[in-house]
Amino acid sequence: MLNYQKLLEPGEKKEILPLKAYEYGIKVMHLLPRDLNITYLQETFNEWIRSEPWQLPSGIMLGSVKPSIGLDDDQPKAYWKSFPDKPSFYRQLIYDSHPSLRKNKQKETELAIKILSNERIAAVLNELRRAIAAELWKKESISGKLSYYLTTNPIANLLPNMGGSYNLANSYPRLRTEPTIDNIGSIQPLLEMMFIKTDRISLAFSEKDFTVSENIAILHDIKELFSPRGNSRALPTAHPVLIPHPYQGKNSPPRPMRWELNEDFDYERVAVLQKNLTPFSKDPKKHKGEIKWDQGRLGAGTRNEASPDTIMARRARMPIETGRSHTAARLFEMVSLLKPGSNASIEEHKLFKRRIQAIAYGIFAYWNAPNEYGGYPKSLTPIHTYHEVMDPAEDYAPGIYSQPFSYEDLKDYLQKSSSHGYARL
């Protein structure tokens, strides 16, 4: 537990904080009692402070930062909450404890589980993974190729593969050959460990078919390898920058947009602001360096309640956690390397839309499904929710989130893929 004590007056116990939030909701926010459930307020608060972190940053902080790298996800979910003041804490606790929002959170978990077992999405991702590998390898530098051969030779391949953050999350494909009663004494498992490469580049090229989770982990880590410094990768590498900052590449959408209600109470796409909540008036593709767009957050686990992005999602009772997903946008930028030109066939444009849709659904599901279904270990970091993934996805493939602040687009997709099979891709 971390720094919730700064929210307390002298002599108060932590159990008083949900009660104070309830009182704030009634007296300041003028909410009705049906919008406030003291049990849910207490449960949400206890989730935020359940585990002890490894570090002690300053400020009013709540939540776990204790990871379980490469192990079973046996730690409490990570909540990196950092509030500038008590009202901010009260408001977020109230929003995250609303009965309708809690139902939507459960719905997202159920939908995520279905996605991870969806054969159509897995088939699209397997084809996409190989196409991305071929495209990046075609543009790979000589030093990058040399680095690959040096670090994936049989001797090095026996060492733990420490490249790629989702490999560290234990999400890569397992070796398919394991010792059995029939091959005791056989060197086959050892040979497979030595000669079947399990690094992210080799896995990207693999003709084997992987699960949705495995494909997402490989694609994510390939994206890290070819992104700009500070944009998914922290250290210099031998590999060139091939994936641009979100909205700043040759094939990028003009600028980030979000859903908003107009005066006729219809949803329309409007421009996303900068992080300081001011408009960005220039051409993003001509800007040097990464543009700091408004993600609707103050920190990795704390929403900015003044952001239009946050306000709109709160009204719809949509789960939101760590902000409009730039990780997803970077994946969409990688897929956009394969974006067809304006003179391409209708089928080529449909293929691109299917790819964006599959990787959007896949990364959402990977983050939100339980670990036992192949999901991301929730103890590592806060996660992005359905709306936080699909709002930027709509920029890259208009129409895949045409029914905003609901799950109808995804439900339609899952129903069609289950009723018609997945062969017609």
For residue range 375-422, what is the model confidence (pLDDT) as tens digits?
Answer: 998 888 889 999 999 999 999 999 999 999 999 999 999 999 876 554
User: In this predicted structure, what is the pLDDT of residue 418?
Assistant: 79
pLDDT of residue 28 exceeding 60: yes
pTM of the model: 0.90
pLDDT of residue 243 exceeding 80: yes
Average pLDDT over residues 194-212: 82
SS3 content of the chain, % helix, strand, coil (to 5): 45, 5, 50
User: In this predicted structure, what is the pLDDT of residue 55?
Assistant: 47
User: In this predicted structure, what is the pLDDT of residue 51?
Assistant: 66
pLDDT of residue 70 exceeding 60: no
**Which two tokens mark 247?**
């909205």
Q: What is the mean pLDDT of the chain?
A: 86
Closest CA to 115 of 358, 379, 393, 351: 358
For residue range 127-149, what is the model confidence (pLDDT) as tens digits?
Answer: 999 999 999 999 999 998 988 88
User: In this predicted structure, what is the pLDDT of residue 215?
Assistant: 96
Helices 212-225 and 346-368 cross at an angle (nearest 10°) of: 100
User: In this predicted structure, what is the pLDDT of residue 155?
Assistant: 61
% of the chain surpassing 90 pLDDT: 66
For residue range 158-185, what is the model confidence (pLDDT) as tens digits?
Answer: 444 456 778 766 677 765 444 444 544 4
For residue range 299-342, what is the model confidence (pLDDT) as tens digits?
Answer: 888 999 999 999 999 999 999 999 999 999 999 999 999 999 99
What's the alpha-carbon Rg for the chain, to the nearest Å? 23
